[in-house]
């Protein structure tokens, strides 16, 4: 059989990137045809290599940067471009903020089709590196190799501990230095990797589901508490004991050291037993005066300092009073509900992850807060008329759903209950705008404030206030 001749990708010369599109790509127009440019920055003049063409648009990468935009900066991480994180390192931070504000505006104009109030300027991060409190690394026996490495003919160690490569989930990029979390995360990760190599631990193969070392999860708090959780793919207790003893000895500042034996074919740990090898089975975070217990399975905002500022905005928008019954939907470990509890009569939280609810109840006791009630289940299953009757009609509802936004059933129940205010926190302005449109028959959008939780990414948090129409 004859091989098909490989057709080279066409290159369009002197294309100007005009704006930012979804997922942080540059947007250009060529003869009224939309071209999405990977790593394109508004103001760039490029020769665009077309890598995929559809009826109405094309995907492209930069073949030649003819004239760089004045919004470009030099990336600070050597893994930039291959690693799937921090995709906006090449954009000056002040311009990142402007683009994110525009993303929110575009979503509400295009999807919500409703007039926005005067949008407050986006709240940027005071710290743009080392801001995360949690990172998850993957062990793999399929390290990502560059084309140059492959063509060199050299033999490389194929084991890696790092992040999945964007667009190639089966491969993992070996990370030597990451700027997302406190530098100590690099010390722990590199030491664990070196120990595993020297003692001939097998690394996980995602395709064949073989190998012992699977995941390394590192969490930290502003109180300087550290949690390390190692996920193994088999119950090789000799190897497990050896690894855990090494970590304990070499990193005495770790306050919670755990392991998980995960024999499933996926990496989720919510259904797995966590074994505490040393220290406590949790760490403590503090926002303002409120302390939070965080266990290995807990969800908590991954930027603690910015989370406090986000919750302050929720407080401001809600303007809660001591007579208010507040529902906190998708409440997680009760982080928002507990933060506002002292300003309300009662907070009722709903969350589908049982361990998160256990932590929420613990956190309430930890802070001597007795006006909260947390319930396990999905909001669409629990939030019904009988539930509302049992817990009193809400005066204010705070929602912080996943990226998919609110379930239609939840929206319908809230429209029927008609609380005077809805404070909607979202990590996806597109689904938020869609939901706000559905609320518009009864609610007026009165406030909107984007918050940057993740510098050097295109992700954006947005808070809106919906008030019941007269």
Tokens of residue 44, six digits: 């760039």
DSSP state of 91: B
End-to-end CA distance of the chain: 73
Q: Which of 334, 320, 329 has its CA nearest to residue 414?
A: 329
DSSP symbols for 261-296: E--SSS---TTS--EEEEE-S-EEEEETTEEEEE-T
Q: Point out which residues pair with 104 in neighbouring strands.
A: none
Tokens of residue 410, six digits: 């939840």
Query: Would you say 462 and 434 are in contact if contact means Cβ atoms under 8 Å apart?
Result: no
Q: Cα separation of 135 and 115, whole Å?
A: 38
Query: At which residue do the structure tokens 């560059």 appear?
Result: 146
Choosing from 344, 379, 427, 448, the catalytic residue is 427
Residue 344 falls in the annotated catalytic set = no
Cβ-based neighbour number of residue 65 at 10 Å: 15
DSSP symbols for 119-130: PPPPB--S--SS
Query: Would you say 90 and 39 are in contact if contact means Cβ atoms under 8 Å apart?
Result: yes
DSSP state of 347: E
Tokens of residue 423, six digits: 């404070």
Q: Cα separation of 266 and 206, whole Å?
A: 9
Collapsing DSSP to helix, strand or coil, 34 comes out as strand
Cβ-based neighbour number of residue 372 at 10 Å: 24
Query: At which residue do the structure tokens 């990451």 appear?
Result: 178
Question: What length is written for the chain?
Answer: 470
Across 36-50, b (16+ Cβ under 10 Å) vs e yields bbbbbbbbbbbebbb
Rounded alpha-carbon distances, angstroms, from residue 62 to 10, 14, 357: 12, 11, 47
Q: Active-site residues: which are they?
A: 427
């Amino acid at each position: 059989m004859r091989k098909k001749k490989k057709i080279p990708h066409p290159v369009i010369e002197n294309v100007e990137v005009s704006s930012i599109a979804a997922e942080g790509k540059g947007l250009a127009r060529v003869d009224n045809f939309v071209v999405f440019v990977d790593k394109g920055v508004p103001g760039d003049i490029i020769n665009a290599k077309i890598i995929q063409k559809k009826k109405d648009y094309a995907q492209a990468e930069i073949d030649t940067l003819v004239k760089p935009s004045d919004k470009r900066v030099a990336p600070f991480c050597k893994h930039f471009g291959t690693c799937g994180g921090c995709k906006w390192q090449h954009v000056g931070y002040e311009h990142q903020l402007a683009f994110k504000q525009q993303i929110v505006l575009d979503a509400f104009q295009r999807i919500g089709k409703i007039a926005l109030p005067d949008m407050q300027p986006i709240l940027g991060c005071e710290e743009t590196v080392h801001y995360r409190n949690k990172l998850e690394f993957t062990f793999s026996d399929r390290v990502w190799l560059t084309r140059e490495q492959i063509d060199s003919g050299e033999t490389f160690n194929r084991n890696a501990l790092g992040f999945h490569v964007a667009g190639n989930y089966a491969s993992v990029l070996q990370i030597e230095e990451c700027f997302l979390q406190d530098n100590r995360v690099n010390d722990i990760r590199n030491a664990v990797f070196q120990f595993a190599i020297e003692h001939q631990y097998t690394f996980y193969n995602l395709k064949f589901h073989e190998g012992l070392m699977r995941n390394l999860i590192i969490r930290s708090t502003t109180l300087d508490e550290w949690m390390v959780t190692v996920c193994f793919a088999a119950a090789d207790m000799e190897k497990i004991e050896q690894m855990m003893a090494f970590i304990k000895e070499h990193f005495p500042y770790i306050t919670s050291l755990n392991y998980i034996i995960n024999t499933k074919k996926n990496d989720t740990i919510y259904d797995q037993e966590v074994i505490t090898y040393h220290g406590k089975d949790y760490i403590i975070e503090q926002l303002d005066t409120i302390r939070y217990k965080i266990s290995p399975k807990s969800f908590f905002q991954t930027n603690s300092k910015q989370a406090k500022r986000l919750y302050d905005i929720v407080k401001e928008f809600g303007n809660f009073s001591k007579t208010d019954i507040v529902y906190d939907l998708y409440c997680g470990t009760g982080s928002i509900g507990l933060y506002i509890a002292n300003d309300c009569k009662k907070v009722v939280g709903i969350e589908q992850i049982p361990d998160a609810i256990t932590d929420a109840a613990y956190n309430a006791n930890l802070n001597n807060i007795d006006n909260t009630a947390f319930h396990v289940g999905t909001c669409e299953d629990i939030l019904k008329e009988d539930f509302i009757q049992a817990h009193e009609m809400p005066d204010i509802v705070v929602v912080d759903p996943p990226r998919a936004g609110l379930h239609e059933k939840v929206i319908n129940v809230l429209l029927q209950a008609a609380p005077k205010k809805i404070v909607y926190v979202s990590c996806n302005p597109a689904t938020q705008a869609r939901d706000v449109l559905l609320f518009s028959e009864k609610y007026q959008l009165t406030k909107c404030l984007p918050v940057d939780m993740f510098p050097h990414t295109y992700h954006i948090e947005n808070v809106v206030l919906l008030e019941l129409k007269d």
